Amino acid sequence: MTNSIAEIRDTDCIFITGSNTAEAHPVISYEVIRAVNEGAHLIIVDPRKIPLIEHATLFLQVKPGTDIYVFLAIMHTIIRDGLADEAFITERTEGFEEFKATLEEYTPERASLMSGVSVEQIEEAARIYAQGKRKSGPSIYDSRHGHSSILYAMGITQRSNGTDMVMTLANLAMLCGQVGKPSTGVNPLRGQSNVQGACDTGCLVNVYPGYQKVGDETKRKTIAKTWGVDELPGEVGLTIVEAMHAAVDGDVRAVYVMGENPMMSDPNTSHVEKALRNLDFLVVQDIFPSETALLAHLILPAAASLEKDGTFTNTERRVQLIQPIIEAPGDALPDWQITGGIAARYDREMGVERDKEHWIFPSTQEIFQELTTVTPIYAGMKHERLVGEGLQWPCPEPDHSGTPILHKGKFSRGLGKFNPVLANDPAEQPDEEYPLILSTGRVLYHYHTGTMTRRSGPLAWAEPRGYVEIHPEDAAAVDVLDDRAVVINSRRGSVKTRAKITENVPQGTIFLAFHWREAPANMLTQDFALDPVAKIPEYKVCAVRLENPRAKRKKPELVKQA
Ligand SMILES: Nc1nc2c(c(=O)[nH]1)N[C@H]1C(S)=C(S)[C@@H](COP(=O)(O)OP(=O)(O)OC[C@H]3O[C@@H](n4cnc5c(=O)[nH]c(N)nc54)[C@H](O)[C@@H]3O)O[C@H]1N2
Ligand SMILES: Nc1nc2c(c(=O)[nH]1)N[C@H]1C(S)=C(S)[C@@H](COP(=O)(O)OP(=O)(O)OC[C@H]3O[C@@H](n4cnc5c(=O)[nH]c(N)nc54)[C@H](O)[C@@H]3O)O[C@H]1N2
Ligand SMILES: [Mo]
């Protein structure tokens, strides 16, 4: 997030898109509702009637994958109606003229045709967001503009044009000067407790810790020196989906899976299975025996988050200490001790002398200390400074108090760059054979592949088994009944589950969460079209067909006995 969670409550206009905030980020959704109750406007752009629309002033129900036309038309309207923040554009940004020219063709009328949202709603959304208008009550900010904040999540990023979508929202915020101030900004709501920390510390294929590009020779040399090695690899690695393709081709021979369950979470499960079975060596390090662990040559038992210490970095870049509150069972060890143990063993085999030969590092405190020496955004932190509230990065010096708001006064690259974006449609479009769009995601009561939440009795009571949401018209077309079996087919595979007939999904779109091992959504999703930059698969759109399993069964014929 460019801004902080607590600022949401003071926002004048909240613009949410591609985020089912109430179910996937319930705590943050309380802040949203609090702001609305105080008079803030809430605009939601989403294909589904998600719970938070109850609180929204405007709900723009787009067809999946067509929101890009709506965003471009919102910006078209803002420029057309003179609502752009010209002072901000002149002082803080570059590339505006070129960007502006690309917007000309994206009229609200065209967006309406593509997305199904009315022209009036698009124009109203543009006015409210640009001016940071409130429904009622005074703004706590007394500047010329009210403060508008954008929240987004996977609905816009898990797309073959995900990077374009994020740049589009950044363009929108810059166009209206809604960035670098409290209660504004472009705020991705991150998924796991520590996915932010994992990225910060370099668990990505193209960067070293602190987002230092692997291709940057100077930075690479500095890190290598600190780590006491001659050189570090300078090539970008393979992302998950690319690695699976490479495994099928025999170019990747061994995989070490740590805290992931790709047999359920990666697109096109049949292909993933083929990839994993083709490996010479598969290691799975997990807290439970997952679907992926079933295929492993070696399973390493890890301790769970409540059983270990270290730090978690949350979605607002806040680095916080975690403490073990229960003991790990059996032989389970914290992940850092398992990988550290393997590294130490490797060193010993290679004849390297070490004082602490067990885990390379004696404690998480020392790992963190070492991390701060190669990670400029963490450089001013140490465990003692994180007690209590923690610190938000960048925190470059020992006496720096952290950064709740990014891009204040200046962007990290200096001037904010407008990146012209053209609309692109999802890679797989519905057709005669597969006439519906499948959208996948989450429900409140379960977490991802269910390794953890589907072991819980109370959660099973709330949400015991899989189902697919189908619009009444689409259900009627294939004679599928509510709460009865339905088969979903895509070009990759088939899944049988229970139908939930509801108008929460628009006609032409069905929704299936990927929590259910008895109805795994990723049997259906596609892995051929990735975002060209982020390489994320298009989990939010693929083409499917529904089938009524009862229709297949022939009526038993009465055989007359002579
Ligand atoms: N209960 C629960 N909470 C979770 C998780 C969980 O598994 N369960 N997982 C966590 C993780 S890792 C993550 S990444 C987050 C994900 O959090 P979200 O991204 O909020 O979760 P999703 O269910 O993937 O929903 C994405 C939203 O995008 C919408 N959407 C689909 N297609 C489109 C489109 O074309 N355009 C737009 N604008 N919107 C679209 C969907 O209707 C949905 O409302 O949740 C985190 N929180
Ligand atoms: N169709 C579809 N697929 C999707 C998505 C979607 O919206 N639709 N969303 C995608 C997104 S955003 C995400 S984040 C991924 C999630 O995909 P995964 O990360 O593969 O899913 P999880 O079920 O969270 O798997 C985490 C694994 O880590 C284990 N684990 C938990 N704690 C620890 C620990 O401390 N140490 C170790 N070693 N293991 C631990 C759990 O038991 C589990 O097996 O799914 C992606 N896949
Ligand atoms: Mo995620």
Q: How many residues in the chain?
A: 562
Atom of ligand 1 nearest to the CA of 445: 1
pLDDT at 90: 96
Statement: residue 204 has pLDDT above 90: yes
Q: What is the mean pLDDT of residues 246-257?
A: 98
Is the distance from the beta carbon of residue 304 to the nearest atom of ligand 2 less than 6 Å?
Answer: yes
How close is the Cα of 446 to the center of ligand 2, in Å? Answer: 12
CA–CA distance, 517 with 230 (Å, rounded to integer): 46
pLDDT at 29: 98
CA–CA distance, 41 with 358 (Å, rounded to integer): 56
Task: Determine the 3-state secondary structure of 88 from DSSP.
Answer: helix
Cα separations in angstroms, 203 against 197, 245, 261: 9, 20, 17
CA–CA distance, 26 with 1 (Å, rounded to integer): 16
Least Cα distance to 115 among 125, 130, 104 occurs for: 125
Tell the residue nearest (CA) to atom 30 of ligand 1.
155
- The structural domains of the chain, ordered by start, are 5-189 (3.40.228.10), 195-387 (3.40.50.740), 436-549 (2.40.40.20)
Is the distance from the beta carbon of residue 440 to the nearest atom of ligand 2 less than 6 Å?
Answer: yes
pLDDT at 37: 97
Q: Which residues pair with 282 in a beta bridge?
A: 255
Is the distance from the beta carbon of residue 441 to the nearest atom of ligand 2 less than 6 Å?
Answer: yes
Average pLDDT, rounded, for the chain? 95
How close is the Cα of 86 to the center of ligand 2, in Å? Answer: 43
CA–CA distance, 405 with 474 (Å, rounded to integer): 46
Beta-strand pair 318-322/542-547: unpaired
Is the distance from the beta carbon of residue 441 to the nearest atom of ligand 1 less than 6 Å?
Answer: yes
Cα separations in angstroms, 139 against 12, 144, 350, 446: 6, 11, 65, 37
Find the largest Cα–Cα distance for the chain. 98
Atom of ligand 1 nearest to the CA of 154: 19
DSSP code per residue over 347-375:
HHHTT---SSTTTSSS-HHHHHHHHHHH-
DSSP code per residue over 499-521:
EEE-TTSPTTEEEEES--TTS-G
Q: Which residues pair with 441 in a beta bridge?
A: 513
Tell the residue nearest (CA) to atom 14 of ligand 1.
191
* Residue 202: pLDDT band with limits 50, 70, 90: very high
Q: What is the mean pLDDT of residues 125-154?
A: 91
How close is the Cα of 191 to the center of ligand 1, in Å? Answer: 9
Atom of ligand 1 nearest to the CA of 50: 44
Statement: residue 350 has pLDDT above 90: no
At 130, give phi and psi (nearest 5°): -60, -40
CA–chain centroid gap for 560, Å, is 62
What percent of the chain clears pLDDT 70, i.e. is strictly above it?
A: 97
H/E element, 42 = strand 41-45
Is the distance from the beta carbon of residue 467 to the nearest atom of ligand 2 less than 6 Å?
Answer: no
Statement: residue 551 has pLDDT above 90: no
Statement: residue 556 has pLDDT above 70: no
pLDDT digits (tens, 9 = 90+) for 521-541: 999 999 999 999 999 999 999
* Residues with Cβ–ion distance below 5 A, ligand 3: 191
Tell the residue nearest (CA) to atom 11 of ligand 1.
191
Q: Find the Cα–Cα–Cα–Cα dihedral 123, 129, 132, 136, rounded to 10°.
A: 70
* Residue 555: pLDDT band with limits 50, 70, 90: low
DSSP code per residue over 430-444:
--SSS-EEEEEE--T
Name the pTM for this structure.
0.95
Strands in 391-392's sheet, in edge-to-edge order, are 310-313, 318-322, 391-392
Q: How many CB atoms lie within 10 A of CB 479?
A: 11
Q: How many CB atoms lie within 10 A of CB 412?
A: 9
Q: Which ligand neighbours the alpha carbon of 50 most closely? A: 1
**What is the token pair recorded at 250?**
């025999």
pLDDT at 109: 98
Amino acid at 524: L
Is the distance from the beta carbon of residue 191 to the nearest atom of ligand 2 less than 6 Å?
Answer: yes
Statement: residue 59 has pLDDT above 60: yes
Instruction: Give Cβ neighbours of residue 206 (< 8 Å, ≥ 6 apart).
Output: 213, 214, 215, 236, 237
Given the structure tokens 């795994």, which residue do they identify? 520
* DSSP at 404: S
pLDDT at 220: 95
Q: Which residues pair with 320 in a beta bridge?
A: 312
* Residue 412: pLDDT band with limits 50, 70, 90: confident
pLDDT digits (tens, 9 = 90+) for 7-33: 999 999 999 999 999 999 999 999 999
Q: What is the mean pLDDT of residues 272-294?
A: 98
Is the distance from the beta carbon of residue 46 to the nearest atom of ligand 1 less than 6 Å?
Answer: yes
CA–CA distance, 154 with 225 (Å, rounded to integer): 38
Q: Which residues pair with 298 in a beta bridge?
A: 283
